[in-house]
């Protein structure tokens, strides 16, 4: 079993008996979760250390504030969303690239097919000329869409980094303001005067960068906004083209009004007329209509991808540091999916264990410990795939908890 860092240090030993029996039971649940989290690297090192500090603080004061268990569940839910967002962005990017490649192959095949038809001048003028021009434009648009989406991801990631840098500068500025106003003097820390002076100097340097961080964030947000607008304009363009590849009775009237600025040949109407004036086109009617359908599906799919991409990007912006940690550490998608699966099991277990805590307030710690083991082992459950690891984590947590001075 992997070694884990003890939750309690020497300073905690100076607080004997500070925690109540109820806190011991709560901490058994929390520490079981933390041991499991640390062994499986489900939180970043900073998140884990913050959680451990909260556990230590909870032992030293029995206040009525929100419990550590609830905080831990919320952190895990954020990380679950991040893993989903990272996975969604990777899947969307891959799907767009694959789809554009497939559509381009179909368009290239269409060009070769039409070149072998021995088209008459009249057929070319009445339909095939406008149709092939339309198709070439559509292909160019979707290739551009793919390129824009790749650039958009870079813009969003840069915006997330700049957001993180701005928050750091903001926090440094606020902390410096509080230090200089004396509000941190009573925080209970016995810092060395030289260390305090060094910290203030460092924070001053960071504060000087606040204006630059603010400007960098504004620039990144502007670049993301412009690229997003470019993509939306391109999607509007594709929609306008699709209107010309569908039955007029099915068209979006609002989209049709926008066609004044996007004049495209009405290839559906041209094809309908060509079928009457050039009867031999009846033989390839279904073949041509399949391409009309392809345009509709492509637009619909890319439009949804853009919406879903923006939702995932919002999660990145809210938690940039954890996103980039996840991106750097989890290059192997199998590892990422396994972590996600473990988080998805750990969250309902901690929530169920939290319910168990309130079931019998007078229950002794040993009885609760046995009941917690039964909860871990119950089948079926949403956490049965991690039950064995949870039991091992509970053993380690209980050893840590029971030997606290």
Task: Indicate if 239 and 182 belong to the same structural domain.
Answer: yes
- Residues 222 and 314 grouped into a single domain: yes
Same domain assignment for residues 210 and 272: yes
Global confidence as pTM: 0.59
Contact 142, 148 (CB under 8 A): no
Q: Which of these three, 324, 351, 373, is where a domain ends?
A: 324
Q: Specify if 2 maps to a domain.
A: no
Domain count of the fold of the chain: 2
pLDDT digit string (tens) for the chain, length 405 residues? 444 555 544 444 434 344 556 777 887 888 888 888 888 877 777 777 777 766 666 555 444 344 566 666 766 766 666 566 666 777 888 889 888 999 999 999 999 999 898 899 999 999 999 999 999 999 999 999 999 999 998 888 888 778 777 776 676 666 656 655 554 444 445 455 556 556 655 555 444 456 777 888 899 899 999 999 999 999 998 988 888 888 888 877 765 665 555 578 899 999 999 999 999 999 999 999 999 999 988 988 999 899 988 888 877 766 666 666 656 554 555 566 677 788 888 888 888 888 888 776 677 888 888 888 899 998 899 898 888 888 888 888 887 776 654
Tell whether 295 and 262 lie within a shared domain: yes
Q: Is residue 283 part of a domain?
A: yes
Do 193 and 275 belong to one domain? yes
**HEC letters along the chain:** CCCCCCCCCHHHHHCCCCCCHHHHHHHHHHHHHHHHHHHHCCCCHHHHHHHHHHHHHHHHCCCCCCCHHHHHHHHHHHHHHHHHHHHHHHHHHHHHHHHHHHHHHHHHHHHHHHHCCCCCHHHHHHHHHHHHHHHHHHHHHHHHHHHHHHHHHHHHHHHHHHHHHHHHHHHHHHHHHHHHCCCCCCCCCCCCHHHHHHHHHHHHHHHHCHHHHHHHHHHHHHHHHHHHHHHHHHHHHHHHHHHCCCCHHHCCHHHHHHHHCCCCCCHHHHHHHHHHHCHHHHHHHHHHHHHHHHHHHHHHHHHHHHHHHHHHHHHHHHCHHHHHHHHHHCCCHHHHHHHHHHHHHHHHHHHHHHHHHCCCCCCCHHHHHHHHHHHHHCCCCCCHHHHHHHHHHHHHHHHHHHCCC
Burial letters 340-367, b for 16+ CB under 10 A, else e: bebbbbbbebbebbbebbeeeeebeeee
Tell me: do 185 and 247 sit in the same domain.
yes
- Among 301, 324, 347, give the residue marking a domain's end: 324
Structural domain containing residue 212 = 95-324
Examine residue 5 and state whether it is found in any structural domain, yes or no.
no
Please tell me whether residues 344 and 239 are part of one structural domain. no
Residues 347 and 298 both lie in one domain: no
The answer to whether residue 1 is domain-embedded is no
Residue 102 shares a structural domain with residue 206: yes
Whether 245 is in a domain gets the answer yes
State which of 298, 324, 350 marks the end of a domain.
Answer: 324
Residues 166 and 309 in one domain: yes
Q: Do 310 and 343 reside in the same domain of the chain?
A: no
Residue 88 domain-assigned (yes or no)? no
Q: Classify residue 3: in a domain, yes or no.
A: no
Instruction: Report if residue 375 sits inside a domain.
Output: yes
Q: Are residues 157 and 193 in the same domain?
A: yes
């Amino acid at each position: 079993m992997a070694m884990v860092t003890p939750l309690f240090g020497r300073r905690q030993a100076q607080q004997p008996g500070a925690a109540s029996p109820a806190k011991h039971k709560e901490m058994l649940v929390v520490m079981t979760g933390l041991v499991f989290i640390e062994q499986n690297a489900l939180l970043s090192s900073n998140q884990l250390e913050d959680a451990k500090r909260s556990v230590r603080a909870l032992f030293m004061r029995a206040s009525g504030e929100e419990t550590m268990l609830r905080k831990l569940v919320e952190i895990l839910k954020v990380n679950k969303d991040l893993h989903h967002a990272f996975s969604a962005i990777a899947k969307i990017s891959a799907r767009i690239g694959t789809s554009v490649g497939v559509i381009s192959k179909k368009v290239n095949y269409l060009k070769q097919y039409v070149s072998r038809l021995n088209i008459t001048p009249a057929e070319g003028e009445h339909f095939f000329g406008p149709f092939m021009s339309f198709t070439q434009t559509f292909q160019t648009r979707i290739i551009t869409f793919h390129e824009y989406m790749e650039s958009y991801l870079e813009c969003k990631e840069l915006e997330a980094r700049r957001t993180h840098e701005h928050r750091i500068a903001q926090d440094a500025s606020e902390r410096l303001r509080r230090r200089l106003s004396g509000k941190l003097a009573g925080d209970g820390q016995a810092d060395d005067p030289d260390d305090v002076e060094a910290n203030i100097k460092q924070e001053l340097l960071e504060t000087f960068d606040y204006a630059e961080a603010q400007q960098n964030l504004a620039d990144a947000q502007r670049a993301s906004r412009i690229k997003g607008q470019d993509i939306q304009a391109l999607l509007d363009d594709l929609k306008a083209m699709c209107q010309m590849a569908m039955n007029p009775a099915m068209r979006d009237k609002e989209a049709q009004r926008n066609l004044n600025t996007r004049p495209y040949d009405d290839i559906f109407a041209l094809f309908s007329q060509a079928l009457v004036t050039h009867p031999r086109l009846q033989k390839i009617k279904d073949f041509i209509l399949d391409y009309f359908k392809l345009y509709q599906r492509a637009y619909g799919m890319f439009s949804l991808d853009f919406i879903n991409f923006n939702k995932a990007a919002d999660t990145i912006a809210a938690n940039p540091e954890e996103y980039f940690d996840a991106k750097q550490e989890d290059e192997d998608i199998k590892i990422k999916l396994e972590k996600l699966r473990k988080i998805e099991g750990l969250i309902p277990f901690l929530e169920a264990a939290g319910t168990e805590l309130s079931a019998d307030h007078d229950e002794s710690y040993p009885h609760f410990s046995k009941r917690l083991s039964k909860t871990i082992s119950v089948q079926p459950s949403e956490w049965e795939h991690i039950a064995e690891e949870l039991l091992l984590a509970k053993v380690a947590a209980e050893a840590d908890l029971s030997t606290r001075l």
